[in-house]
Amino acid sequence: MNKKQLIKQINTKKSFLCIGLDVDLEKIPQHLLKLDDPIFEFNKQIIDATHHLAVAYKPNIAFYEAYGIKGWQALQKTIKYLNDNYPEIFTIADAKRGDIGNTSTRYAKAFFEDLNFDSVTVAPYMGSDSVEPFLAFKDKFTILLTLTSNAGGLDFQVLKDENGLTLYEKVLKQSRSWKNSDQLMYVVGATRPEYFQKIRKIVPHHFLLVPGIGAQGGDLQGVCKYGMNDDIGLLINSSRGIIYASKGTDFANKAMESALKLQQEMEIILK
């Protein structure tokens, strides 16, 4: 998927919603645990119920790795199901990888070639040679962790150098000089709306992946006010607030209702 296709999908669905598929077997409806692959079945029903409202899905890889080979197989089945049945959907491997040279290339191959994700989240703090191997893959996006929504993100990301430049600003500025930097997106937490104006001055045309709406208390209106650009430029992620809207047999329908509320807010904003 390229940027134009993503923008077209946003305009068609009147939505820039990304749904996080963070599957915890202790939280999913208990009747699914009787099945051979409860993780995949949960994902499948969520996707079928919400695909018309979302432009992206983001499995958090840790929630699959935690269950060993069965979790990884469920992840493989989930991404194949998305690619086969809803090819217009933008897929994000929330893996937070990042290492030097050949190691990064292998990480990129795992998510871009073997699993065929459209994008992957990457930690930037080992520098250009840890990120450019991801950027070498054509029509794939690398999403840099920049200013995260967790409280501990402020421990380092807003520290200033002798010139008053914060660490997250240095990441944004430096990354623009990397090879194929037009294939970058950036993670910016919804709980930091006051920073979006400054971020947009540095990366006016790139997409921002914005977690923290919903359960973490992020403000959609505030994010859109300062974070939107001419191409919308935002993917707003919600995970728990949608996928765990119900623990009953109606979980997929309740997830759809929660997604619909966000999509309708987005449609009003887009107008």
Report the C-alpha gap between 53 and 113 in whole angstroms: 27
Contact (CB, 8 A) for 167 and 156: yes
- Rounded-to-integer distance, Cα 51 and Cα 233, Å: 20
Bridge partners (DSSP) of residue 17 are 236
d(CA 90, CA 83): 9
Q: What is the DSSP letter of 205?
A: S
φ, ψ dihedrals at 256, nearest 5°: -60, -45
Which listed residue (14, 96, 109, 198) is catalytic? Answer: 96
Local structure of 247: helix, strand or coil = coil
Known catalytic membership, residue 8: no
What are φ and ψ of residue 27, in 5° steps? -115, -15
Token digits of residue 198:
């400054």
What residues are annotated to the active site? 96
